[in-house]
Amino acid sequence: MKAGFWIYSAAMIFFIHAAQIYPQDRFFFSEYDLLLKRMEENASTESRFYLDTVRQQQIETSWTYPELPPDFYTHQIPELNYAPMEQAQLRRAYSHYENAVLLIENMKKDLIRMDKKIRSVRSDIWWKVIDETDSLMRQRHRIKMKYSTDLARTAGKSIEILEGIQNTKVRSSRAFINLYYQSLRMHAIYEAVMFNYDSAFYSLQKYKINENSDLEWPYHYLLSICYRYKFRLAQKNTRIYEKELLELRKMKNLHKKLAVSLKYGIESEEYNLIKNKIRLEELGSPRRIED
């Protein structure tokens, strides 16, 4: 694992690039202190911040393939003995989730088809190869963005329905929780693919109620990207106080370190590389815009 963490992670899962969003949240210090305390408490051992291979694979699968069934099937709903309205709400939410799964399957097929077209471009004139390849690449990007829009909207509908259920017994059931978390992951991923980082950040904040979220490196990875965009936009706003810039930078870097520590371990070369890079960054002014 010699490649840098960001290149590796982006290629493996999200294919996300940089943008900017406006800093509107005011809870940074408390969250930073809490996460930093947890990290320091476990600095002497990798048991918490470097999980076993099986658990790592489970976490990465849940984020890399958000269309996998969330341990929830339609035939299970009658066994829950909920009121008809609550059963109907769960069925509707799961129906939207199933629609999203079909969209992902179709997207994969269409992208594979486009990849084959791109690889098959042939011409004796070199510039024609470049032009046709470029045209097909743009077409592929449009297809991906169209599907991502539909996926984010469909996952959002599932989340909206689930959040409308008030019955505490239903909300604490495995059927509800698994579907809710899976929908939040899907929504955050595809909003991020479209560079809608405000919306992705909002879903990730909801996902925090998952007691295992602290152990999921893709969760911290996406959060660090969202904070990075908030930070980059805030740097260009002269009305933002330096204290707020420092808060955003701290959260960006903290989640980056958490992601790397969970993925590779705190004794790894990757973690030391990121830690040293962050240390150098934090020696400078938060208003300095990095390339």
Distance CA 110, CA 82 (A): 40
pLDDT in tens, 203-249: 999 999 898 899 999 999 999 999 999 999 999 998 999 999 999 99
**Is pLDDT above 60 for 40?**
no
Decide: pTM greater than 0.85.
no
The alpha carbons of the chain give a radius of gyration, in whole angstroms, of 21
- pLDDT for 46 equals 41
pLDDT in tens, 157-189: 999 999 999 988 888 888 899 999 999 999 999
CA-based nearest residue to 251, from 273, 280, 229, 218: 229
Tell me the mean pLDDT in the region 41-62.
Answer: 62
Domain ranges of the chain: 5-283
Choose the weakest-confidence range: 7-21, 97-111, 183-197. 7-21
Contact 217/262 with Cβ under 8 angstroms?
Answer: yes
- pLDDT for 75 equals 45
- % of residues, the chain, pLDDT over 90: 58
- pLDDT for 71 equals 57
Tell me the mean pLDDT in the region 276-287.
Answer: 92
- pLDDT for 84 equals 77
pLDDT in tens, 107-125: 999 999 999 999 999 999 9
- pLDDT for 291 equals 54
